[in-house]
Structure 1
Amino acid sequence: MTALPQLISLLHLASPALPIGGFSYSQGLEAAIDCGLVNDAATAERWICDNLAHVQAQCEAPVWLLLHRAWREQDHASVRRWNDWFHATRETSELRLETEQMGWSLAKLIAQMGWGDDTLQGLLRDMSPVCLPTAFSAACAALQIDARDGLAAYAFNWAENQVAAAIKAVPLGQVAGQRILRGLHGVVLEVVDEAVRRANADPPQLSTFSPMLGLLSARHETQYSRLFRS
């Protein structure tokens, strides 16, 4: 069981109030709405669930765990390697800018809050760019948050941002959004289990195959009317 101080720290990190700009991104959801793939609560839930199960679980989540392990073991070469690897997998300029901006904002916050030692803060400062999974896993390692707990918060925070984007852009009502979030509780747990399996494989089992997301993200870059930056 997570100790109370770590639980409070985790709630702090996963809060939508964390000033890293997550509210301004939809990660392709807005383009899916524009194309008619998402048009109501049911299709929004399916979109978010599919992205969690087939995109997050196969790449970003296991990479997050590998980064957390590297931070905890002070394996700075692996931190840099997985950060650069993840950045290279971002298929469009929007997706790259998103992880760069949010990672930079969180890295800056880590320094301002005094989380972690000088070595951790110095490595975050020296890396350019710093991807969001790198910065979030660093914060969890600095605050002594368990890897599974930290990843669950990371995945749920992603889902929460997606639901907030759907509420604005579909649009959906607040109750519909909460029903979607409640339905994703079990999916988040499955994502964590799958990510642990993939991260612990030798070599790690990572897949970046998500052609629809890449196409929609590229389409969004020239979309005529939009609310979000991705």
Structure 2
Amino acid sequence: MTTSERAGSLEAMIGLDNSALYRLMTWLSPAFPVGGFSYSSGIEWAVEAGDISDAAALRGWLSTMLTDGAGFSDAVFLAHAHRAAELGSDTPLSEVAELAAAFVPSRERQLEATAQGRAFIEISRSAWSCEGLDAAVLRCETIVYPVAVGLVGALHGVPLGPLLHGFLHAVTSNWISAGSRLVPLGQTDSQRVLAALEPVVVATAERALVASLDDIGSASFRADLASLRHETQYTRLFRS
């Protein structure tokens, strides 16, 4: 098999050409300036309260956030935003964006979601603009982070499956990065947590791909409470 044949075979398996892969890796890299490093999604309060004290506790906390909290909900919003932007759907993009913005449980999580969404859109328009992006943005009053990723990914032709898995990996990695600084954890323990969460991320993405907007819900009460109480902490490293 020639090099070009091997490349074509790989592309066929993952549904992602080289340009789309390049964009996906760029947008969801920690170096992409959406400010994710400054948010902990309530993990900072959970560490202070004693809910998260070691790698095992962080893994359990994040597993719940992925399966029953913000991870799953954001993944569903991303999927529906992608479909609405790519092909049109029964639910217009503006309605997906409005529901996603209303779904966050606290003021600080609202800041986290909208600030990152706004940054993602602004950088995309400046450095990764494409046909239809400005018009799509104008249809939405507020664009939170997962909707921004789904919207831009669709208009750039990045397939939904890889985009969704990449998004959940990036979000999980950012949560672990926050936890590693707060607990604190070493680099090896942080990687062990990420490795242990791989099947959870994969399963969450697969659920989100087939979920309707009516399937969205949250059962991560303690994590939601953490995001509400974070703003009253005496000292804080993170904005949420």
TM-score, scaled to structure 2: 0.88
1:227 counterpart SS class: coil
CA distance in 1, matches of 2:99, 2:66: 20
Letter in 2 for 1:174: Q
Letter in 1 for 2:118: W
Residue equivalent to 2:216:
206
Residue equivalent to 2:237:
227
Residue equivalent to 2:204:
191
Letter in 2 for 1:164: S
Could you list the per-position Cα deviations for residues 147-193 of structure 1 after superposition, in whole angstroms to 9, with x for gaps in the alignment? 11101011000000011101111100011111111222221110111
RMSD: 1.8
Residue equivalent to 1:157:
170
Decide which structure has the larger Cα Rg and report it: 2
CA distance in 1, matches of 2:90, 2:112: 23
Residue equivalent to 1:137:
150
Q: Percent identity?
A: 28
Residue equivalent to 2:60:
46
How many corresponding residue pairs? 226
Residue equivalent to 1:37:
51
Residue equivalent to 1:90:
104
1:182 aligns with 2:195: yes
| Residue of 77, 86, 102 corresponding to 1:72 | 86
Equivalent pair of 2:63/2:197 in contact (CA under 8 Å):
yes
The structural deviation recorded for 1:208 is 3.1
| Ranges in structure 1 where 5+ consecutive residues have no aligned partner | none
Letter in 1 for 2:227: S
| Ranges in structure 2 where 5+ consecutive residues have no aligned partner | 1-13
TM-score, scaled to structure 1: 0.92
1:60 and 1:82, CA in 2 relative to 1: closer, same or farther beyond 3 A?
A: same
Map 1:102-141; keep pairs closer than 5 Å.
Answer: 102-117=116-131, 119-125=132-138, 127-141=140-154
Residue equivalent to 1:216:
226
Could you list the per-position Cα deviations for residues 102-160 of structure 1 after superposition, in whole angstroms to 9, with x for gaps in the alignment? 0110110111014321x322332563322111111122112211111101011000000
| Residue of 24, 28, 34 corresponding to 2:42 | 28
